[in-house]
Structure 1
Amino acid sequence: MTNQSNSFNSQHIPAVIAGISLIIMGMAAAFSYGYVHNSLVVSAEAVITLQNIEASLSLFQLGILGWVVIILSDILVSWAFYVFLKPIHRELSLLAGWLRLIYTAILAMAVSHLLISSNLVRQQMSGEVTELAPSDIMASMSAFDSIWSLGLIIFGAHLILIGIIALKSNYIPKVISILLVIAGGSYMLTHVLHGFVPQLDKTTSLIEMVLIIPMTIGELAFGIWLLLKGRKI
């Protein structure tokens, strides 16, 4: 009875933690990046961006809180993926876990620039800073985008590795495994182009529009499967 219970817990607990964390992460990302960031930050418009943040500082700060939730969820997913996939291939699962932790550390560095911007705007509004240059805020936004984009290359490598491990199993659906590999390759391709071939930005944006669906559903589909089926393995 004890052996059966240990076997159940070894797969059930990480599957549930990973599934719930991925869903929470998806909702937090939709709010913090999809809504807050895209609503307040206007590319190449430093004055408008500063005005937007000043007018909606509380919303901007809530967006930062959402990023903190994402970072904490990523740490949980790193552990949960490793424990759940370890029986399939221990070494690859460990490598995938470390790649996600590295990505999470890079994301935390990127988010620190949003926190710097928030503090600068708050200080100006409270009179602690007499004049805040819009270019300072835009520099922080650009740093956030650049650092996060670099991290997403590593995140893409992590997803490819997770997909390869999943393909080696006889219980994870092959379609989900393939979606993970495609999603990882899409992240790597678009963000390598963004970071290292900026002269192709228009082409990269078109490629990103085409690949946005597999990039979005790859890991989310795995999370839903973990909650519905994976926890019963």
Structure 2
Amino acid sequence: MKTANRKEDFQPKPAIIAGVNLMLMTIAAFFSYGYAHSSLVIYEDAAKTHDLLRSSLSLFHMEIAGWVVIILTDLIVAWALYKVLKPIHSLYALLAGVLRLSYTIILATAVFHLLIVSRFILDNSGTGEHVMTNLLLFEKFWSIGLIVFGFHLIIVGFVALKAPFIPKWMSILLIIAGGSYTLIHSMYNGLPQYETITATMEIILSLPMMIGELGFGIWLFIKGIQNLHTSRSSYLGAS
């Protein structure tokens, strides 16, 4: 098992790839869940949700396309973060990658239920109850996946703490974000009777949950660009 923490162990190209894909993923998530899904799904009214999906099917298909983008970028990020973290601690880097891959598989399972909803609407073969059942299954699987995702962020944060080239505040923010995801979605799935309290906690913790990984992605991108520029300048100077 290789463990290293020298500044020259930073991998700029994988860092840039991870940063770009994390930012793309965030944009896709804001659209797919923050805009499209929240506009089309009314959990208290299955019939109205069914009608909204029928009248705005193109928007729903765009939402699904956004989730596909998230799945693909998640796969790329799993590889890129492994490359970035491997020189710091190879075993934990592998564990973080496996956890992210597991989360991505669970997310893909969740999105499959959105495809079922699309088929119901296209074929006019499902009732509002059928549609709502699959929308709730999407939420259920995704929420379970976010528990795994939280553990992934915690591992990434702990590995980042060992690296001199990653700011400590960034590492701590990743750990807080990961702990928040795991806590909130464990409560949603394990303590449904406290859903109101959990929802309040989610609002309070939404900021660190949102900026934890996104902030890390922006930092990776900027740091990677700076390192590439420095390396290129050193090479040209030496020549």
TM value normalised by structure 2:
0.90
Q: What residue number does 1:5 align with?
A: none
Deviations 1:141-186 (A, max 9, x none): 0000000000000000000000000001111011110000000000
Alpha carbons 1:29, 1:66 under 8 Å: kept: yes
Name the residue aligned to 2:184: 190
Name the aligned partner's letter for residue 220 of structure 1.
L
Q: Which letter maps to 1:123?
A: D
Question: In 1, distance between residues paired with 2:9 and 2:190?
Answer: 44
Q: Please tell me whether residue 11 in structure 1 is matched to residue 11 in structure 2.
A: yes
Residues 103 and 145 of structure 2 are in contact (CA less than 8 Å); yes or no, is this contact kept in structure 1? yes
Aligned twin of 1:4: none
Q: Deviations over 1:84-113 (max 9, x none)?
A: 110100000000000000000000000000
Structure 1: gaps of 5 or more residues: 1-7
Match of 2:173 among 174, 179, 182: 179
Q: Would you identify which runs of 4 or more consecutive aligned residues in structure 1 move more than 2 Å?
A: none
Residue 10 of structure 1 deviates from its aligned partner by: 7.7
Aligned pair 1:147/2:141, yes or no? yes
2:11 aligned counterpart, secondary structure: helix
**What secondary structure is seen at the aligned counterpart in 2 of 1:229?**
helix
Match in the other structure for 2:237: none
AA partner of residue 59 (structure 1) = L
CA contact (8 A) 2:17 2:77 kept: yes
Contact 1:10 1:83 in 2 (8 A): no
* Matched ranges for 1:18-167 at <5 A: 18-124=18-124, 129=125, 132-167=126-161
Instruction: Answer yes or no: is the 8 Å Cα contact 2:32–2:63 preserved in 1.
Output: yes
The answer to whether the 8 Å contact 2:103/2:149 transfers is yes
- CA RMSD across the alignment: 1.6
Q: Which residue of 1 aligns with 2:218?
A: 224
How many pairs align? 221
Query: What letter is aligned with 2:222?
Result: L
1:12, CA displacement in angstroms? 1.9
- Per-residue CA deviations over 1:119-140 (Å, capped at 9, x if unaligned) read 110111xxxx4xx311000000
